[in-house]
Amino acid sequence: MTTSYHKNPPAYGASEQCEDKRAPPVSAKTNLDAESQQEGPGPRYIPYRVYAPDGAIPARKAPDPGNPFIGRIKATSVPPPHNVLSLKRALGKAEGLLDPSGCRTLIYRLHSATLPEDATARVSLLGPGLGETPETAVALVFHGDLSKLEYEARCSPSVEEAARTYTQQYVYYHLHTLSGEEPSARALDRSEPAIGRIDKMEIAPPNDVQSVKRCIARAEGKPIYKFGQMYGDPTDSEPCADDAPWADDAWDDAPGSTPTAALLLVRPERRAGLHNRPLRVLEAQCAARTAFWSSDLTWLAACQGDVMH
């Protein structure tokens, strides 16, 4: 058997063959062993980030302790068919957050994506395409709140202490009440105690105004800011819509990209009791009783998980 490691030996005369003192040719088995020891391409991994509605949470499968928000799984661990639903199930299992029906999560091709991938869309997992580098990691986004146990298992120590991202892009915000400024828990300048910042990668896709408000509320430890009004400019007469994108590709000019262009977030007035507290629907009643103050069952119908104001 001729191997690929050696060329055919030159022809020798009888006397030359007697004087040839080279080592005997390597056996075929030895050559096969040598081939098996050659380094081939390593396994392909799919990097990903995990998000709750109020921002990034550490990944259980993070290979770098210095950046706990980027996990990865082997591409071969995703069962066929290779579509978005299969990927969601595999990522959910890796994170210990099972989602067999794919109802709890959405997949965004990139953190900056504004629309989720369709569950039935095919994805390229074994070749170039989806999530090739940590910078292009896919985002697994839970569109409902995690349980207290699920959340605390990943966020202790706090997200702020564990975070060390590499984008160095921050979103600055200026906190207000209806009557003035309010100090920020993430203030950087003593002369501007109401201005804080969050890392851009902390914000959950789809990176709309509501996502930013939720992330700020978590960073400040004040859930009421989720229901505040956000302004991109102090001269604006109307607040930004919750589903409006808050930034585009021109990051240097985006609202919140610098302390002097900070987003303005005004929290609602807090009163004693439940006068203006939002209520979350834990269990929807039967169809005949889900509408409030009206015989029209489609008017103000409540579903499980809805927040009522």
Reported as a pLDDT band with limits 50, 70 and 90, residue 116 is very high
Give 101's contacts (C-beta < 8 A, 6+ positions apart): none
**Residue 270 gets which letter from DSSP?**
P
Q: What is the mean pLDDT of residues 100-122?
A: 90
> Considering the entire predicted model, what is its pTM?
0.73
pLDDT at 26 over 60: no
Cβ neighbours around 302 below 10 Å, total = 17
Reported as a pLDDT band with limits 50, 70 and 90, residue 275 is low
Model confidence over 72-108: pLDDT tens digits? Answer: 999 999 999 999 999 999 999 998 887 778 888 999 9
Range with the lowest mean pLDDT among 106-120, 211-225, 276-290? 276-290
267, 222 Cβ separation under 8 angstroms: yes
Residue 298 to residues 212, 279, 281, 282: CA-CA distances in angstroms?
30, 19, 16, 19
pLDDT at 14 over 90: no
Residue 308, pLDDT score = 55
Instruction: Give 131-187 as a DSSP string.
Output: --SGGG-EEEEESSPPPHHHHHTTSSS-HHHH---S---EEEEEEEETTEE---TT-
Q: What is the mean pLDDT of residues 57-84?
A: 90
216 vs 304, higher pLDDT: 216
Where along the chain do its domains lie?
Answer: 45-159, 167-266, 278-309
Q: Kindly state the percentage of the chain with pLDDT values over 70.
A: 65
Cβ neighbours around 122 below 10 Å, total = 11
Model confidence over 172-215: pLDDT tens digits? Answer: 999 999 999 999 999 999 999 999 999 999 999 999 999 999 99
Q: What is the mean pLDDT of residues 21-32?
A: 44
Q: Which two tokens stand for residue 220?
A: 């400040």
107 vs 38, higher pLDDT: 107
- Cis bond leading into 81, ω under 30°? yes
Cβ neighbours around 309 below 10 Å, total = 8
Model confidence over 133-187: pLDDT tens digits? Answer: 888 899 999 987 777 777 666 665 444 455 544 456 899 999 999 999 999 999 9
CATH topology (fold) of 45-159? Ubiquitin-like (UB roll) (3.10.20)
Q: What is the mean pLDDT of residues 47-75?
A: 90
CATH-assigned architecture of domain 167-266: Roll (3.10)
45-159 and 167-266 agree in CATH topology: yes
